[in-house]
Structure 1
Amino acid sequence: MPKYLMLKHYRGAPAPSNDVPLDKWTPEEWQAHVQFMGEFAERLQDTGEFVSADALAPEGTWVRFDGEGKPPVTDGPFPETKDLIAGWMIIDVADYDRALELAGELSAAPGAGGRPLGEWLELRPVMSEPPTVTE
């Protein structure tokens, strides 16, 4: 079965169907959102389609190899950027169509006022083997 990464992006602007910015949500709205995510993951555990998931803190650090020893480090990404990776879930499903179906369901996680967010999710296949090079 192919594995897919569902990457949750929170953008500086509100989601298309929810006009309340994330920093204005009430604690109850956040709790409902987190509960939805947990119940979604539980359901996928029951069907054997769940692999793993985590939420990500907004702060981070950029690191890269520079060939000189200690790698350079730069602050970021920052929450005020236009696009913040907020979390991810890896699923193991029968096919691409099932992955699309689950991504659509996850996109409906509740936001402010309990309304579905309608957020964009990035859906990417997990590479199972290196690409073949042909000449």
Structure 2
Amino acid sequence: MAKFLLLKHYRGAPEALNNVPMDQWTPDEVAAHMQFMEDYAERLQANGEYVEGQALSPEGTFVRYDGEGRPPVTDGPFAETKDLIAGWFAIDVDGYDRALELAGELSAAPAAGGKPLHEWIEVRPFLAAPVTITE
């Protein structure tokens, strides 16, 4: 088994295939999307592949150490940002191919008009501990 993080990138960029902002979806479209996410998580749980998942608020703050002990804080994400991390799932699956399969399914979550969202899903393996040799 291998652990992966599926990062849900909400792209407001023109190249997105279903570029209707979620705040313009009908209540039924939002409900259908949320039900898809719940069903997806439940199926992963039933398969023993679910570790954890969470939707994220669009508000956020960027912090970076400034070298002098005072971290500068910047509100964000910004309107001009093309990507926004909308949420994530941590999964524990048989391998990379299964992680890609699940990411593809997640990308097809329903959006406006019931059409697939075509959301970009970033697949990131968890960093494994280096192999140690003991004698």
Query: For residues 18-97 of structure 1, what are the structure 2 equivalents within 5 Å?
Result: 18-97=18-97
**AA matched with 1:9:** H
Give the drift of 1:19.
4.6
What secondary structure, in the 3-state scheme, does the structure 2 residue paired with 1:78 have? coil
What is the rounded CA distance, in whole Å, between the counterparts of 1:8 and 1:79 in structure 2?
Answer: 18
Contact 1:8 1:121 in 2 (8 A): yes
Percent of aligned pairs sharing the same letter: 70
Q: Which runs of 5+ in 2 are unaligned?
A: none
Give the drift of 1:77.
1.4
What is the rounded CA distance, in whole Å, between the counterparts of 2:129 and 2:97 in structure 1?
Answer: 21
**AA matched with 1:63:** V
Q: Tell me the TM-score normalised to structure 2 length.
A: 0.88
Name segments (4+ residues, structure 1) moved above 2 Å: 18-23, 66-70
Q: Tell me the TM-score normalised to structure 1 length.
A: 0.88
Q: Which runs of 5+ in 1 are unaligned?
A: none
Aligned residues: 131
Residues 130, 71 of structure 1: CA spacing in aligned structure 2 closer, same or farther, 3 A cutoff? farther
